[in-house]
Structures are given as C-alpha cells and as structure tokens.
Amino acid sequence: MITNTQQRALRGHQPTRPTPRAANTAEHRAMLAWRMTPRDKWIGRMLWEHRVLTTHQLTELAFAGPRTARIRLRELFLLGVTDRFQPFVTTGSSPMHYVLAPAGAAVLAAEDGMEVKDLGYRHDRVLGVAHSLRLAHTTGVNSWHTALVAHARRISGDTALTAWWSERRCARHFGDLVRPDGYGRWQQAGREIEWFLEYDTGTEPLGKLAGKLSGYAALAQASGISTPLLVWVPTSRREAGARRALATAWRGLDDPASVPVATAAAELLDPAAAHPGPADEVWLPLDATAGGVRRGLAGLTEAWPHLPPPVSPTSDTVLGVGTPVAMVPAPQPMPPVVRGRSGRR
C-alpha cells in the first residue's frame, strides 16, 4: 500500500539500539568486494538516487518476503553499507528507514571511477533526511513508485517500471521550468507511457498546484515533447477541488494538448485488493474528450492517442531539452536477477 503519512505525524527521530559495526577502512572496503552481491550494490544506488527507502519499500523492490529483507538489510547495516533510523510517530511504530552509509558510497564511487567527494556524498547531509520536514512527502513519492515495481514483479510478461528519476534528478535537469516529484516510464501489455508526477499530500494550496501547468507547458514547447502530468492526491474530495483548479489553468494554456493531465486519489484504491497501487484503474484524464472513464496507468495511452512513443531518457540529452546527463546515471528501477550465492537472500 502506498504510504500517505502526514508530516505532522512524524515527531522526531528514534535512535536504534547500539550495534557493533565494521569500520569504513580500505581493508573493509576491499572485503566488501566479495560480501556485496549485485543486488546489494543496486540497493546502494537506489538509496543514493532516492535518498531514503523504508523496509517495506525495499522489500517491494528487491526481496521475496519481509523476513529475507530484514535479514539482509541488517547485514548491510552492520557492514556499513547502509545507515538506518526510525522516525517517532504518535501511535504505533514506523518502519526502519535506510540511507546510504559511507562504505556504500565508497563502493558506488569506485564502480564509477570517481572519488566519494566527486559523487557529492556527505554523511551528515544524508542522515539529515531523518529530520527533514519533507520526509513524509519523500517516502510517499517513493512508495508510489515501489508499488509499481512490486506490481511488475508479480506479473509475468513485459510489465515493468523502466525509468524512475528522483525529485533531485528532475530538478537538476528541468529546474529552470518545473520541479516534478519524479519522472517515470511504465510498460504493460505492449503499451508504454511516461510521465511527470505531482504527489500532493493535501497541504499545498490548489492554486499553487494548478499554477505549475504553465511550467510544464513551457517545457513541452522548449523540448517539442508532450509528457503527461499525473497528479496524485489523498482523497476524492481533494481530487474534485484539484480538478476544478487544474481545468481552469489547463484551458488557459496556449496549447493545452501539449500537457496531458490525469488525476487519481489514493482513497480510490481497493483496500481488499492484494496489492493496490498506481497501476490500477484510478486515473481520470482532465480532458473531457477522453470519455470520463477511469483507466489503468497503461490505459492512459488510449486517452491520449496523439502522443508519440516515449523518448529514451538515457540518451545524450534529457527529453530533448539539451541538458547533459548526470555524471552518475539513474539506476534501473527493476532489481537485478538474483542467482547463485545471492539467491539465499
């Protein structure tokens, strides 16, 4: 289930119990060469890309079940590959939150042939997310995407989340015009769709949300590419208000068709379903000509038949804007195939 924790419910940082951990020495990093599996290294890259991932999210991303996830994640923590913290909540308990630790950053940098300082890694800043006022928003965005990965892992065939860029990467490439909460691409049943995501927690004024459409229109004009905008809100009531504000702003654009918009509410997910998520039939296009029918994520391609196939975001330029690709490429959202020794995990 996609998390919808409100920031006000997170009241502080609950430290974990002291545990003996390996020192981040050159000898220790050399030892990691045979202790870390390809999946472990991929987890490190996902943590660096998306800042923080919870136990639940990492289980959805890479493990067969909660028990194997907890065992391996604890080992990575003891090895100094990851750090972890547990936010305090007013009721119940929150899951463990994982970030990239110094030894993990050293491995990632060495694989890319650079120094840790060139990577831009600072341990204090990485752990600072534990006290960030945007922690709930960040984990919510990450849950939205990990739910798609979990859905793809359960379905055979060509279903996959083939691209997932973090808010930080999006800001680096599109920040002059827009700052989406993420960029992604989904393929299912021979159909493929890409999007920018605006993940709304219900606290942002709807006028400010609608005002972002002009930036997306400017990006579409500059790049020559129409990329759908998906707006995810917590409740149906919030969605109704958002759609009114978005429709007014959308009709005022010079070329509304260049910014396809669809909305969905987390409240619409079926709680009885085994694994509800954004791939479900909860999306309603803003354009009235689309028929007013809620569609699955892949089904949105039928609502916007004028859209060309997505442009690969791994080319020399990003979505045609001409911005250089980041030094460290975004990791593939789907986990590597686990074989051999790592299959025990």
The domain total for the chain is 2
Clarify whether residues 119 and 241 are in a common domain.
Answer: no
Q: Which domain holds residue 261?
A: 157-303
pTM for the model stands at: 0.88
Dihedral sign (CA 318, 322, 323, 326): positive
Residue 130 located in a structural domain: yes
Clarify whether residues 218 and 99 are in a common domain.
Answer: no
Dihedral sign (CA 268, 166, 46, 76): negative
The answer to whether residues 131 and 52 touch, using CB atoms and an 8 Å cutoff, is no
Residues 6+ positions from 285 with CB-CB distance below 8 Å: 260, 261, 262, 291, 295, 300, 303, 304
Clarify whether residues 281 and 182 are in a common domain.
Answer: yes
Clarify whether residues 124 and 168 are in a common domain.
Answer: no
Residue 322 located in a structural domain: no
Residue 34 located in a structural domain: yes
pLDDT attached to residue 327? 58
**Positions of the chain with pLDDT lower than 70, given as ranges:** 1, 3-20, 156, 290, 312-327, 338-345
Residue 319 located in a structural domain: no
Question: Which of 135, 167, 200 lies at the terminal end of a domain, its last residue?
Answer: 135
Clarify whether residues 130 and 161 are in a common domain.
Answer: no
Clarify whether residues 161 and 131 are in a common domain.
Answer: no
Clarify whether residues 294 and 167 are in a common domain.
Answer: yes
Clarify whether residues 24 and 110 are in a common domain.
Answer: yes
Clarify whether residues 126 and 49 are in a common domain.
Answer: yes
pLDDT attached to residue 314? 46
Clarify whether residues 165 and 293 are in a common domain.
Answer: yes
Query: Tell me, what CATH number does 68's domain have?
Result: 1.10.10.10
Residue 176 located in a structural domain: yes
pLDDT attached to residue 24? 79
Q: HSE of 232 in the Cβ direction (CA atoms, 13 Å)?
A: 27
Clarify whether residues 164 and 127 are in a common domain.
Answer: no
Q: Pick from 250, 263, 184: which is nearest to 217 by CA?
A: 250
Residue 12 located in a structural domain: yes
Residue 182 located in a structural domain: yes
